[in-house]
Amino acid sequence: MKSSVRALIVLAILLILSGRTIVHAQSRQHYDVAAYLYPAYASDDPRLRPFWPMGFGEWETVMTMQQRNPGHYWNRKPLWGFINEADPSVMEMEIDQAVRHGINVFIFDWYWFDGRPFMETTLTNGFLKAKNRSKMKFYLMWANHDVVNTWDTRISQLPEQNVIWQGSIDRDEFEKICRRNIELFFKQPEYYKIEGRPVFMIYDVANFIKGLGGIEQAADAVKWFKQEVKRAGFPGLELQFTMWAPNLNYSGFDAGKSEKPENAFVNKLGFTSSSHYQFAHFLNVNQDYIDLMEQARKEWEHIDSTFSIPYYPHISIGWDNSPRIRVSPVVKNNTPENFEKALRMARDYVDKHPKQVQLITINSWNEWTETSYLQPDNIYGYGYLEAVRKVFGGEK
């Protein structure tokens, strides 16, 4: 007995000296770092013209900021220029840069208004036609919010919120987009899956329920959606819940006495995981970034103790909506160095949850007009991208 124990000890020492145990541990460690991609920076989508008539998409808002507001402190410029992200050659460059700096998933904000897709060409003409698309995964975040006058800087400062398009849709329309997304996107080899299940995120759950006519009808629609996904050959659907207050403040839902109302509500609708989209959705962003980090960490603890579905930690780079509305709450001290600290906090969270996929979401790849972007600029250069690379590594 003693000799066998000694043999095991000797073997362990030899493995440590050879570095095998260390290499094995590192090879098992893998993080999926997913950046939301806002697809408004395109030049080939005529549906963008009513909001941005110059034909550059929302780059127009960035380009004209100083012209509209002379002397305003917000004066950001992209180091890559005012690129057309619906151009596959441009997207190839972006994919290379993303992977090099440790980002391996794009979450495309995906829109459907007036019976057809909106802002989809960055995905269909850009990403899906990029020669190096196999380097990246992608999935959809259905941005089913109402469209108001915020995008159009000519009327964005009006006191009233004029609804241009409603984000809620009925059951027939929902089935139409689900079938389309399964065929057009879920079946792509690059579509991001968790244990084989395509991931699909819903941004505005209250709007989703409204369009379908109530919680029971929404739950039934989700059940149908999951069946369609299985019928298409997948083991199931990973339906992701966007954590923010309006999604959980749905009146009239009776959870009973057996569990927390929020958790019962999410489970009733068939969601299987969750993340956030922006710090601004659940925190007062008009403060220091270090304070926001601590508040975000406490929110993650609250989610852990409340919900039974996995939560994938979210980090936002910042918030400043001045390009659209001139006066905005502003995150302060959101330097690349502090952003790196936040990423390490997110990495620590996923390390402490080994039973779930090691997925982290970031806002965002390119939300320029909300001042929360990874792309290099005239202020910090490649600082934010380098922060991701330092924490999660990247392609050599």
> Among residues 305, 391, 386, which one has the least CA distance to residue 98?
386
The string of pLDDT tens digits covering residues 245-294 is: 888 877 556 656 667 889 999 999 999 999 999 999 999 999 999 999 99
Residue 26's pLDDT is: 35
**Residues 350-369: what's their mean pLDDT?**
97
Look over the chain and give the mean of its residue pLDDT values, rounded to a whole number. Answer: 91
Residue 10's pLDDT is: 43
* Residue environment code for 155-168, b if the CB has 16+ CB neighbours within 10 A, otherwise e: ebeeeeeeebeebb
Q: Distance from first CA to last CA of the chain, Å, rounded?
A: 48
pLDDT > 60? residue 1: no
| Residue ranges covered by each domain of the chain | 1-30, 32-392
Q: Which CATH class is domain 32-392?
A: alpha beta
Give the C-alpha distances (Å, rounded to integers) separating 274 from 172, 209, 235: 26, 17, 19
- CA-CA distance, 387 to 345, in Å (whole number)? 13
User: Peptide bond preceding 258: is omega within 30 degrees of 0, i.e. cis?
Assistant: no
Assigned token pair, 291: 């304070």
The string of pLDDT tens digits covering residues 3-24 is: 554 544 444 444 433 443 333 3
Residue 29's pLDDT is: 63
Residue 159's pLDDT is: 79
- Do strands 116-118 and 105-113 pair parallel, antiparallel, or not at all (unpaired)? antiparallel
- Of 28-32, 227-231, 285-289, 360-364, minimum mean pLDDT range: 28-32
The helix/strand/coil state of 362 is strand
Predicted confidence band of residue 161 (pLDDT cuts 50, 70, 90): confident
Q: Which runs of consecutive H residues, i.e. helices, occur in the chain?
A: 2-18, 20-28, 59-63, 65-68, 88-100, 121, 171-181, 205-212, 215-231, 245-248, 261-268, 289-306, 322-325, 336-351, 383-392
Residue 260's pLDDT is: 86
Q: Are 105 and 136 in contact (CB under 8 A)?
A: yes
Residue 253's pLDDT is: 65
- Of 175-189, 246-260, 269-283, 345-359, minimum mean pLDDT range: 246-260
User: Tokens 């068939």, residue?
Assistant: 270
The string of pLDDT tens digits covering residues 79-135 is: 999 999 999 999 999 999 999 999 999 999 999 999 999 999 999 999 999 999 999
* Residue environment code for 72-85, b if the CB has 16+ CB neighbours within 10 A, otherwise e: eebebebeeeebbb
Q: Are 102 and 388 in contact (CB under 8 A)?
A: yes
The string of pLDDT tens digits covering residues 300-333 is: 999 999 999 999 999 999 999 999 998 999 999 9
